[in-house]
Amino acid sequence: MQREIQPELLDSLSPEHPDAIHNRRDLRLTNRFMGNFRWFARSLPSRLRAGDRVLEIGAGTGELGAKLESHGLHVDGLDLWPRPDFWPATSEWHRADLLAFEDYRRYSVVMGNLIFHQFSPKELGELGHKLSRSARLIMASEPARRRLSQVFFARIAPLLGANHVSLHDAHVSIAAGFQAEELPQLLGLSPVEWEWRCQSTTFGAYRMIAVRRT
C-alpha cells in the first residue's frame, strides 16, 4: 500500500461548523480506541529532563495537552485553530502554521498526535530540518498505513455515529499514514545523530520515539 496524500474535509471547515464539531466527537472516540492519549501520558514523563520545554504541534482542540496537564506535564500548543477556552493559563498557545513557525528553538521536546501524516515528503523534510536544529526528543502517534484499518473503520464507524467528514478523513488519513521507519526517514533524521523506535499497534496506531544521540 503506497502512501497517498489527499486533502482532509476538516481542513475546509471552521471550528464552529456543525460537521467540525461532530468530527471532534468522533476523533475523541478514535483517540480512545487507538490509545493515543494514554500512550503519551505513559511514555513522555520518563523521557523528560530538567529544563525541557514541550510543544505539541497540531494541537487542535487542546484535549491532549490538557490531559497531560492533569498528569502534571506542562505542554505548549501550536495550531491554526484558536486557543481553546480550557487551555491551561500557564501554557502558551501559538496560533500559527507549523511549517512557518519560527520559535521551535525554544522547545527541546516536540510531540504530535495525528498530524505528521497530513504532510508531503517535501513538507516533512522541511519540518524535520526545523525540529532537528533544537529538539532532542520527537514523539509521534499517527495512523498505521493498512488497508485492513480502512475497511474496519468504514464498517464500524457508522455504527458509532461517525459523520461523513470523519469517514472521509479517516480513510485518507490511513492512506497517508506510515509503516516501518518511514516517518524518521521522511523527517530527514540522521541515524548518526538520532536513534529512534517505530512500532505499529493492533489498534491501528503508528508510534515513533526519536531521541538525539548524546
Complete DSSP assignment for 105-150 = GG-SEEEEES-GGGS-HHHHHHHHHHHHTT-SEEEEEEEB--HHHH
CA torsion, ordered 96, 97, 98, 104, to nearest 10 deg: -50
Q: Which pLDDT value is given to residue 199?
A: 97
E-state strands within the chain: 54-57, 75-79, 93-95, 109-113, 137-143, 194-200, 205-212
C-alpha cell at 108: 527541546
Phi, psi of 32 (to 5 degrees): -70, -45
Per-residue pLDDT of 11-67, as tens digits, reads 899 989 999 999 999 999 999 999 999 999 999 999 999 999 999 999 999 999 999
Q: Is 43 exposed, middle or buried (0-12, 13-18, 19+ CB in 10 A)?
A: middle
| Structural domains of the chain ordered from first start | 9-212 (3.40.50.150)
Q: Which pLDDT value is given to residue 10?
A: 93
Q: Which pLDDT value is given to residue 195?
A: 98
Q: Which pLDDT value is given to residue 15?
A: 87
Question: In angstroms, rounded to a whole number, what is the distance separating the alpha carbons of residues 127 and 51?
Answer: 23
Over the Cα atoms of the chain, what is R_g? 16
Q: Which pLDDT value is given to residue 186?
A: 98
Q: Which pLDDT value is given to residue 214?
A: 84
Per-residue pLDDT of 94-148, as tens digits, reads 999 999 999 999 999 999 999 999 999 999 999 999 999 999 999 999 999 999 9
Q: What is the pTM of this model?
A: 0.95
Per-residue pLDDT of 41-54, as tens digits, reads 999 999 999 999 99
